[in-house]
Each structure stands twice: as C-alpha cells, then as structure tokens.
Structure 1
C-alpha cells in the first residue's frame, strides 16, 4: 500500500525518485501516437513515469474536431496495489497542458490515511468527502469505503 501511495503522489507531484517500467511509459506514448496525437510526449512520459506492476491498460479518446485534445484512462499495478488514472492532454502551441485525476483504494481508514499523508492540509468536509490540499496544488479527496478509504487525487499542470 505504501508503494501505491508513493507512486500516485509522485506521479501527481511530478517529482519522481524512481523510474517506472519503460515498457509501460512507451506503451502510453505509443497509444497517443497511434491515435495521431503528437507533441505532448514529455507530458505523457511524466504522467506515466512511475507506472509499474504486472500490467497496464490505456484507453484513448480523441476529439476528431480538435486534434489538440486527447484523453487517456488507464490503470496499472498488481492485485492489491494498483492505480486508476484519467488524464486529459491539451496542446497549446509548443506547450502541453494536462489535467490528471488518480484514484486508489487503501485498507486504512481515511483518518489514518490522512495522517500518513501529512503534506496535505485539511480544507473542508463536504457530504461524504474530506477535502485536503498540499502546497503544490494537488487536491486529495478522501471517501470512506467499508473499513477502508478511497483517495482521489486531482492535479492540473503545464509542461
């Protein structure tokens, strides 16, 4: 579970201390190219730089009327340690903007998970969700699920 949390946080913070599986990174880039989307390779590589485990699946959605837009829904990891990710890439000239949402499930309570992620500060509680944010602008929404917790991360970045 610690690995899953670190992988997702590092992906969202774009500050990796270890590399993901090169085959997974290349697979994600190739999926974008297969759909005619080029020019955001560095952003795609950054999003998938920590993807690892035993398998990866990437589904690509393109907007035929806008060749500067691509959405990728993906999951990677191993049983009991996996990440679900949705990233939208938008080309703006020579820059690529992306908006990422990642989801993971932990067997820890939301309170225990929040304490473990002390770099996030409490913002509010709305309905069933606890909102938290770190100094880098990453949002973490926690939702109790059975005896565990679902953590949803959201991050918006330009690369």
Structure 2
C-alpha cells in the first residue's frame, strides 16, 4: 500500500480553500504559496497517521496558523500592506469596494499574527469560537479576547463603515 494514498486527492480537493486561508493569514500571494507548500509538506509527512482516523484538513489549517506565527517570530517576516497607496487626484474616482478592500488589507496587516488568525478563522471561514480555539491550540477565552482586541484595532485603523 502506498503511504501517500489519498494525499493527492486531498490536495486537489482542499488546495484552493487552504490557499485562500494562507493568503488571508499572510496578505501576500507569494508568501501564501510558500506557507501552503511548507504546510503540505508536513501534512504529507504525517499522512499515514492523518488518513487513518485523523482530520487532515484541521491539521493543515492549524499548521497554517502556527507556521504563520512562527515565521513572524523567528524570521521577523514583514507582511505586506503596511503602507496605503496615495490618494487619487480629485478628478479621479475609486470604486467604493476597492477602497474598502485596500483599507481592510492595510488594517489586517497591522494586527498581530494571532489576532489576524482569529479574524480569518472566525469571520472569513465562519468557524465557531470552539473550532477556532481547537485550530489555534488556545482556550476559548483567548479566542474571545483576541477577537475583541483585533476588532477594536480594526475599527480604529479602518473606516468606520467597514466594521460597524
């Protein structure tokens, strides 16, 4: 029996979803690709155990969060988005949705890795507090407090209509 039996199917089925999560955690497409590749390497190394009664998707998502936090701590990887682009000339107009996306991207870049992970898991992936706590390996109280601090920071950094 091939020890990677089912791994290729898992990657084909979940790669896009995991890539979106990686992008939201890092804010950069290239860094997200590196993150996902690193995590899928770990998933492959543990595939026999995960395929035999484990939850490979939960393992991969938790590894995405943990690896993002680890990169920020060890390498001081600077996530993009710290600078907002210059405002348009008065004769030019921007699409409201584009302006909101830029503001959101900028605000998310200012969060700590744990705060960003909580926001991505809770509001983008629509996870419960319990699921988020399990994926991050923290208590439900930590999820609640990190969500509170992250939303407060987002409200202070971004236009009011985005987070109200």
Fold in common (TM above 0.5): no
- Computing the radius of gyration from Cα coordinates, the structure with the larger value is 2
- Structure with the bigger RCO (C-alpha within 8 Å, sep 6+) is 2
Q: TM-score w.r.t. structure 2 length?
A: 0.28
Bigger fraction of residues in strand: 1
Bigger fraction of residues in helix: 2
Q: TM-score w.r.t. structure 1 length?
A: 0.29
